[in-house]
Amino acid sequence: MSKLFSYLRAYRKECILGPLLKLMEAALELFVPLIVAAVIDRGIGGQDQRFIVRMSLLLVGLGLAGLVFSVTAQYFSARAAVGFVTKLRHALYTHVQRFPYSTLDRIGVSTLITRMSSDMNQVQTGLNLTLRLLLRSPFVVFGAMIMAFTIDTAAALWFVAAIPVLALVVFGIMLLTMPMYRRVQEHLDKVLGTTRENLNGVRVLRAFRKEEDECQRFETQNTALTALQQHVGRVSALMNPVTYVIVNLSVILLIRTGTIRVQEGILTQGAVVALYNYFSQILVELIKLANLIINITKSLACAKRIQGVMDVSDEETAQPDLPGGDAAVRVEFDHAGLCYDGASGNALTEVTLRAMPGQVIGVIGGTGSGKTSLIHLIPRFYEATTGRVLFNGSDVRAVDPAALRTKIGIVPQKATLFRGTIRENLRWGNPSASDEALLAAAEAAQAADVVAAKGGLDGMIEQAGRNLSGGQRQRLTIARALVRRPEVLILDDSSSALDYVTDAALRNALRSLPYRPTVFLVSQRTAAVQNADQILVLDNGRMVGLGTHGELMASCSVYREIHESQFQKEASK
């Protein structure tokens, strides 16, 4: 937890002034019952109008001073809480951005969203309440008790008897509800996970008419969350009635004792009223303190969940003293294998391949054969669990990930664009690229017509490219990768939405690029890879063929079956 609260150091002044001003407000509040008692005994009892006016003005002055202290304390507390959470949220977001794919897979995106939103808000609320009330409430409770003893010891003994009973009820309920609040947050993770899945896959749900099933699944999880929240609410709701029963019984006994002592001439009527006011202050502050501790407990639980993410190791750093290879080879897979966390078997096994500068490497295989897993090893999104992957003769684990990825252009399976202009989207590949370079990349990616149709580089793209077709999105994402002028270009089935003419023109344009990148072309269509310099054939994560189209047609049955399933056998002769 000390790591989290290190972000609070910039707000030391606010963390001191907030509680201090609340204590000053509480001190003024403790004098109010004494002034009211004096008004009753001397002003009303003695019919001293001037005294009543003076004391009334004094009460107004105390109220205004207390208001100033309270508002100022609230300002400093809010400033510290909001500033702290702003810094913490930024640090968490930056930390998560450095996670490798394997870590994101293990933690889960919905869990990270909960940490970034709901948990952060709870931490902010808890810190704000802590700065304002953690010292104030105990100060008022003990201060009121001491003030009561200065008025009358016998009557104040009811305070001594009632306060432990009140504390037992308040803190007993608190201890019961604390673990329940933690379970509420866990159920919230599940609801958010389901919501995210449904929103991301809304088109698939409608295509398969699964809306009712998913609504039922969401309702089941939401009902479970609601039931747990209601149960916690019912337990928490016991606090007010039980405490008020105890307080009212104590007030009856206090007034009875006070009445007897007034009749005996030991106490005045104003003193009894003052004792009653002090008792009310104690009740209010105990309830505040209980709610505060519940909020602090929830906030600490959320802070631990955030700390758990912060403690996860982020992006792998470069590992020194790893053996190198042939620097003339752009990318080399040396008996590389991959097993995902928690998987029962390997996704890749014993893959060996050497790709030279300027070569086009086709990667083909059936669904689930490991094509995407293979190319994710090059930029070190995942690390090879066996063997190694080399880039320009260096093991990728010995290269700084940021430096490695600046030399690689990646077009993933899902074409993702962001809200903004075409220029802003293309410059993700190179923030300093000129308009001429952007247009040249668009031309090579066969996206010049898309740019022209949108009114040029200033044309707007909606979130996720909603105002573009699938083929237009794919061409713009390829252009974005080309703007970087990468040494290695990875196209992960990124032309699946293109027609054969556009696809062929794209492949020809890639071969004629002046900086001669090594291209990894992942596809399920043999037509897309048949002109590649080398074609790697995968089947269930194993390398079952490597060679040109003609060589594989003669020697690799898996490749031949894929080709013949897409073309007539006569066409392959």
Give residue 461's identity as a one-letter amino acid code: I
Q: For the chain, how many helices (H) and strands (E)? A: 22, 12
Q: How far apart are CA 213 and CA 193, in angstroms?
A: 16
Cβ(424)–Cβ(504) below 8 Å: no
Residue 154: closest CA among 84, 77, 256 = 256
492 within domain boundaries: no
Q: 266 in a domain, yes or no?
A: yes
Short-list 133, 44, 40, CA closest to 81: 133
pLDDT at 555 over 80: yes
Average pLDDT, the chain: 86
Instruction: Convert 539-569 to b/e letters by CB count within 10 Å (16 or more is b).
Output: bbbbbbbbbebeebbeebebbbebbeeeeee
Percent of the chain residues past pLDDT 90, beyond the cut: 33
**CATH number of 267's domain:** 1.20.1560.10
**How distant, in Å, are the alpha carbons of 174, 188, 190, 244 from that of 237?**
11, 22, 26, 12
What amino acid is encoded at 76 in this protein? F
Average pLDDT over residues 402-413: 88
Predicted TM-score (pTM) above 0.85? no
Q: Per residue in 446-483, pLDDT tens? A: 999 999 998 899 999 998 888 888 888 889 999 999 99
* Residue 329 near residue 356, CB atoms below 8 Å: yes
Q: What is the pLDDT averaged over residues 260-286?
A: 83
The answer, yes or no, to whether residue 336 has pLDDT greater than 90, is yes
Residue owning tokens 């929103």? 199
Instruction: Look up the domain containing 296 and give its range.
Output: 2-310
Could you tell me the pLDDT band of residue 65, with boundaries at 50, 70 and 90? very high
pLDDT at 572 over 80: no
Structure tokens, 493: 């089935």
Q: Highest mean pLDDT range out of 134-148, 165-179, 372-386?
A: 372-386
pLDDT at 213 over 60: yes
- Number of Cβ atoms within 10 Å of the Cβ of 479: 27
In a domain, 298, yes or no: yes
Confidence band for 351, pLDDT divided at 50, 70 and 90 = very high
- Residue 439 scores a pLDDT above 90: yes
**Token digits of residue 399:** 């290269």
Contact in structure between 190 and 218 (CB atoms under 8 Å)? no
Q: In the structure, what pLDDT confidence band is assigned to residue 183 with cuts at 50, 70 and 90?
A: confident
- pLDDT in the model for residue 87: 93
Phi, psi of 560 (to 5 degrees): -60, -40
Across residues 36-54, what is the average pLDDT?
Answer: 85
Q: What is the largest CA-CA distance in the chain?
A: 121
Q: Would 448 be classed as within a structural domain?
A: no
pLDDT 10s digits, 143-182: 888 888 888 887 777 777 877 887 788 778 777 877 787 7
Residue 342 CB neighbour total at 10 angstroms: 7
Q: Is the model's pLDDT at 80 over the cut of 90?
A: yes
pLDDT at position 525: 85
Q: What is the pLDDT of residue 570?
A: 42
284: its two tokens = 């209010």
Distance CA 493, CA 175 (A): 55
Question: For residue 390, what pLDDT is reported?
Answer: 93
DSSP H or E segment with residue 224: helix 211-237
- Tell me the sheet residues that pair with 489: 409, 519
Alpha helices in 422-530 (DSSP H): 422-426, 435-444, 448-453, 470-483, 500-511, 526-529
Q: What is the pLDDT of residue 315?
A: 65
Report residue 325 as tokens.
Answer: 């290879």
Kindly state whether residue 154 falls inside one of the protein's structural domains. Answer: yes
Task: Judge whether 278 lies within some domain.
Answer: yes
Q: How far apart are CA 194 and CA 197, in angstroms?
A: 5
For residue 518, the SS3 value is strand
How many domains are there within the chain?
Answer: 1
- Quote the pLDDT of residue 573: 43
Task: State the distance between the two ends of the chain, measured CA to CA, in whole angstroms.
Answer: 69
Q: Quickly tell me which residue has 């016998």 as its tokens.
A: 154
Asked, for residue 258, whether it belongs to a domain, the answer is: yes
Contacts of 252 (CB under 8 A, 6+ apart): none
In a domain, 256, yes or no: yes
Structure confidence by residue, pLDDT tens digits, 317-326 = 777 767 777 7
Arithmetic mean of pLDDT, 2-20:
87
